[in-house]
Amino acid sequence: MVDKINDYLWEIKKDEKLGMRVPVRIYANQSIVDTMQKDRTLRQATNASMLPGIVQNMLVMPDGHEGYGSPIGGVAAFDANEGIVSPGFCGYDINCSVRVIKTNLTEKEVRPKLSLLMDRLFKNVPSGVGSTIKLGFTIKDLDRVATEGVDYIISKGYGIDEDREFIEEKGCIAGADPDKVSELAKKRGVQQLGTMGAGNHFAEVQKVDKLLDPKIAKVFGLEEGQVVIMLHSGSRGYGHQVCSDYLRICGDWQKRNSIAMPDPELVYAAIGTKEANDYIAAMRSAVNFAFSSHEIMTHFIRKSFEETFEKSSDALGMDLLYHLSHNIVKLEEHEVEGKRRKVYVHRKGATRAFGPGREEIPKEYRGVGQPVLIPGSMGTASYILAGRVESMLETFGSSCHGAGRTMSRHAALREIPATKTFGSMKDKRIELRVRDRKLVSEEAEWAYKDVDQVVASIEGAKISNAVARLLPLGVAKG
């Protein structure tokens, strides 16, 4: 039974199912909640609410949909002493994340050269399943990436010093240990560092269509009509293999300890065990891989603009707005039931959305809240939001991460012809570059929720403030 608390908040009570330790709270409007009840989204959320050490509530964001073990769009916090870490609740694509790069260009300036720009972006930023790049990195370099993050990449000539201040964790989360990462993961990752991958990953040239909060937009350096670039990618085969390895390792730990599971996909290890410590160190290595991979791609995005407009990236104003993670487990301090507690916050298909004042936010944004970057589906709007004080108490400072699927990839392939998407993109004057035609169906806007409704739900629930609405001019995908 899903009970309505208000127009944007719903709850499954703790006594709804035997074994639940906390209620499930869903942040969404009526239409989205109805959609969630058509698959296993809420069943997976109730299963996750049974995990040991979970505190306060199991949360589902409005982009929530069925995933592996826990729903995508799920958030939960576990006591730092008595809780657990779950690889499946972090996800396969560890630190899949979004960054936005600003420019001082307008659509009027970009439109005449848009086709050439998209050709260069598509060439310079490798994408597609198994995509690789030959930059001369070795396994030894990869180990330094794992421990030093973007600092190492910048020292190799990719990216700029100013970027790190506008990356979550300043581009390097502490506590990574590449010795806890398998050789197979490293072999998979060594030529994929600096590549986009496939699926829902993309690089988009966008324009700021509308300012929804001009005051915060000014702090973020955004103006109506401005061109920005949104990049969405993750830790590629490196992170995928880390997750695969530790699903097995944690599963073996549970078997040895005769622990029964509500869902075998929700395997975990208890905080303080070797298995949990090793997973955290390996997961953090993959986090730093993804930060670094984005930094390399940003270098080649800037290069593409420089070649196209025959100006330096400095002259083009190509500063980093922010880089925001999802699919991550982080040790944070939050107020839980009136007391400050350290907890391991699992955000799977969900992002951090810290409100004003938190020291983790870049000082330039601390007065208005952290930028929250919300990509839409292919050909639709994206959004930039700002975290609110309310989110710190309600959602452990978390928000949605995108539109969220309503249709599986197989269903989209069956039901949405690629010609429909190609036609829609042409009608909207969006330049599309894609390596695999089937992605045009899998990633079609009709396979996703309406991002405007998702963001309206986040605003209605007072989790984040909408700051700017962005529209795509050009899309490059795998």
Has 326 been annotated as catalytic? Answer: no
Annotated catalytic residue, options 65, 240, 334, 401: 401
Tokens of 24: 């499930």
- Cβ of 161: how many Cβ atoms within 10 Å? 10
d(Cα 134, Cα 137) in Å, to the nearest integer? 8
Res 130: pLDDT: 81
The number of distinct structural domains making up the chain is 1
pLDDT tens digits along 377-428:
999 999 999 999 999 999 999 999 999 999 999 999 999 999 999 999 999 9
CA atoms within 13 A on the CB side of 82: 5
pLDDT tens digits along 342-370:
999 999 999 999 999 999 999 999 999 99
Task: Assess whether pLDDT exceeds 90 at residue 478.
Answer: no
Among candidate residues 101, 91, 80, the one with its CA nearest the CA of residue 162: 101
- Our CA angle for 143, 145, 151, nearest 5°, is 145
Q: What is the CATH number of the domain that holds 37?
A: 3.90.1860.10
Residues 6+ apart with CB under 8 A from 294: 97, 99, 231, 233, 323
Bridge partners of 25, per DSSP, are 11, 59
Say if pTM beats, i.e. exceeds, 0.85: yes
Give the domain range for residue 330.
3-477
Q: Angle, nearest 10°, between helix axes 114-124 and 274-309?
A: 140
